[in-house]
């Protein structure tokens, strides 16, 4: 059972060459690196984490952070205060890698947590603690899956790795060459793999996911069409609206009205 008694969280951008510490870690902490890099010295031993990775830190250790010297480092974080964990869970956490690739699942949970910063709900503490616990369970599950013998797990394909990267960077400009470089293959080969496994090209997949993300925001938030288009990586609301119409047969406003069960 993972039941946080207290959590704190936030996001920050450190200027080039910034440092933090030394400090004694009092909690479990997840540090999600969006861009840049950081070297964390744990009891004098360095741990290097690059962009699109997540670090798990444990209580009781001295930490000193050195951030990228050649550019800004952006990261989000959550401190999780826990009572004494059951021994089996603690042993499982101690066995997984302390740095993992930042998955879409962890990225989404962190964004959900940040979205609750200014909430005034009477249940907000419980909501935040639940999300933080989910993040720790997610990290544990992903770490155990990656460390399992090859015979017991499926290795992510080049397509899956490219999809994961794309899903983490939908709001940014993405090119075929960039996706191919991330998975260390040629653009032509990546196109062939995507067509075989997904049925569309890599960039067509990216636009599908952006439209999917936009439709979810139309249905679940009150953001304007312009705001949603920008958040989903579209340069104009016209382009966003055209893509939504192609995918659903409805305009963005009609999509929202339909989801909210309103009539024309």
Residue 173: count other Cβ atoms within 10 Å of its Cβ.
8
Residue 1 covered by a domain? no
Burial of 81 (0-12, 13-18, 19+ CB in 10 A): middle
Average pLDDT over residues 77-104: 88
Which residues is 128 bridged to in the sheet?
none
What pLDDT, on a 0 to 100 scale, did the predictor assign at position 88? 86
Q: Using 50, 70 and 90 to split pLDDT, how confident is the model at 63?
A: very high
Residue with the larger pLDDT of the pair 157 and 132: 132
Average pLDDT over residues 72-100: 89
What pLDDT, on a 0 to 100 scale, did the predictor assign at position 262? 54
Out of 129, 151, 173, pick the residue that ends a domain: 151
Q: Which residues contact 261 (CB under 8 A, 6 or more apart)?
A: none
Name the helix (H) or strand (E) containing 134. helix 124-147
Write out the E strands in the chain.
6-14, 19-24, 28-35, 37-42, 45-50, 53-57, 62-67, 73-81, 99-101
What pLDDT, on a 0 to 100 scale, did the predictor assign at position 151? 45
| 3 state DSSP class of 166 | helix
Q: Does the structure show a pLDDT above 50 at 14? A: yes
Quick one: 91 and 218 in the same domain? Answer: no
Supply the CATH number for residue 182's domain. Answer: 1.10.10.60
Its pTM surpasses 0.75: no
Q: Using 50, 70 and 90 to split pLDDT, how confident is the model at 149?
A: low
Determine the structural domain holding residue 84 and report its residue range. 6-151
Average pLDDT over residues 94-105: 89
Burial of 262 (0-12, 13-18, 19+ CB in 10 A): exposed
Q: Does the structure show a pLDDT above 70 at 156? A: no
């Amino acid at each position: 059972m993972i039941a946080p008694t207290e959590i704190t969280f936030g996001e920050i951008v450190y200027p080039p060459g910034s440092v933090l510490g030394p400090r004694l870690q009092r909690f479990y902490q997840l540090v999600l690196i969006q861009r840049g890099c950081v070297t964390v010295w744990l009891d004098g031993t360095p741990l290097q984490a690059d962009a699109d990775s997540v670090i798990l830190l444990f209580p009781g250790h001295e930490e000193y952070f050195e951030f990228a010297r050649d550019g800004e480092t952006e990261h989000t974080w959550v401190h999780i205060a826990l009572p004494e964990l059951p021994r089996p869970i603690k042993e499982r956490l101690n066995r997984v890698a302390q740095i993992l690739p930042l998955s879409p699942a962890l990225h989404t949970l962190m964004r959900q947590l940040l979205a609750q910063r200014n909430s005034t709900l009477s249940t907000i503490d419980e909501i935040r603690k639940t999300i933080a616990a989910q993040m720790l369970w997610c990290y544990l599950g992903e770490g155990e899956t990656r460390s399992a013998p090859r015979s017991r797990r499926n290795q992510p394909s080049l397509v899956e790795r490219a999809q994961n990267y794309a899903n983490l960077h939908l709001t940014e400009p993405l090119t075929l060459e960039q996706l191919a470089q991330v998975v260390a293959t040629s653009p032509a080969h990546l196109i062939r793999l995507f067509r075989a496994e997904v049925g569309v090209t890599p960039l067509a997949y990216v636009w599908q996911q952006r439209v999917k993300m936009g439709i979810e925001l139309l249905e679940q938030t009150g953001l304007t069409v312009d705001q949603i288009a920008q958040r989903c990586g579209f340069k104009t609301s016209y382009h966003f609206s055209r893509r939504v119409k192609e995918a659903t047969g409805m305009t963005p406003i009609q999509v929202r009205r339909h989801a909210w069960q309103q009539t024309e």
